[in-house]
Amino acid sequence: MLLIIRKDHRSICLYAAQQIAAEIRQKPHCVLGLATGSTPLGVYRELIRIHKKEGLDFSQVQTFNLDEYVNLPKDHNQSYYYFMKKYFFDHINIHPFSIHIPDGMAEDIETECLRYEEQILEAGGIDLQLLGIGSNGHIAFNEPFSSLGSRTRIKTLTEKTRRDNARYFASMKDVPKYAITMGVGTIMDSRKLILMATGQRKASAIKTTVEGPITARVPATIVQIHPYATILIDRVAASKLTQALKIAE
């Protein structure tokens, strides 16, 4: 596990984007795992800039998103399908058939989860997975006490996670209670991981993830045993670290 601390959110987004761009240049048909939320927005902005200004080619790239809300239509402005199109896919030369996002409106959610796992396998696995982290240590929507060997499945969101996401919705009652999410085991199968976090709200989760024991209580701690995991954080998110060897800039 490599821990990298940069001065602010913009710095970590630039670093992550550079790593993703390097992956694409080295392997034009690579498979990327993508995340939503406020943390990776700067990564997508920088990748769009590199695409437009430096010719980064996404035409052979495949993508798999970590998760999607259940019973939220694709055209809803808080669906992750809508998010990815608005902030990333509509601005690069990726083919629509190369984009994979769980279908939260599927009639049979269990079948949809199995289908998603099969699609990842058919693509050859994920080369580089971008991750955020919840304030309770969840990755994707793998809430505390999720199985560390889990695969793509439906999860009930905790009240804490729903409260954290309520700022994006008109009211708390509008926040979905369920989501389809890649499992912890699915995420760990990725060849490389980049976990990003910024701000004081994530500092406790980062301390436990980096310095604490591996436990299902904090699913993100599992990244400690991934052979190619990078923890990429700003100085504020790093503020509670005490024992970890830090590479700061």
Q: For residue 128, what are the contacts with CB-CB under 8 A and spacing of at least 6?
A: 19, 20, 23, 30, 32, 33, 190, 191, 192, 193, 194
91 is catalytic: no
Element (H, E) at 138: none
Question: Which residue in the list 67, 112, 164, 189 is annotated as catalytic?
Answer: 67
Question: Which residue in the list 112, 127, 143, 189 is annotated as catalytic?
Answer: 143
Question: Which residue in the list 65, 136, 142, 165 is annotated as catalytic?
Answer: 136
Asked whether 72 and 174 are in contact (CB, 8 A), the reply is no
110 is catalytic: no
Q: For residue 216, what are the contacts with CB-CB under 8 A and spacing of at least 6?
A: 144, 145, 146, 147, 148
Element (H, E) at 132: none
Question: Which residue in the list 9, 51, 138, 226 is annotated as catalytic?
Answer: 138
143 is catalytic: yes
- Per DSSP bridges, beta strands 178-181 and 192-197 are unpaired
> What 8-state DSSP symbol labels residue 136?
T
Asked whether 84 and 99 are in contact (CB, 8 A), the reply is yes
Q: Give the Cα separation of 242 and 238 in Å (integer).
A: 9
Q: Two tokens at 105? A: 């409106």
Task: Please report the sign of the dihedral spanned by the C-alpha atoms of residue 233, residue 237, residue 238, residue 244.
Answer: negative
- Classify the phi-psi angles of 222: left when phi > 0, otherwise alpha if psi is within -120 to 50, otherwise beta: alpha
226 is catalytic: no
**Residues annotated as part of the active site:** 67, 136, 138, 143
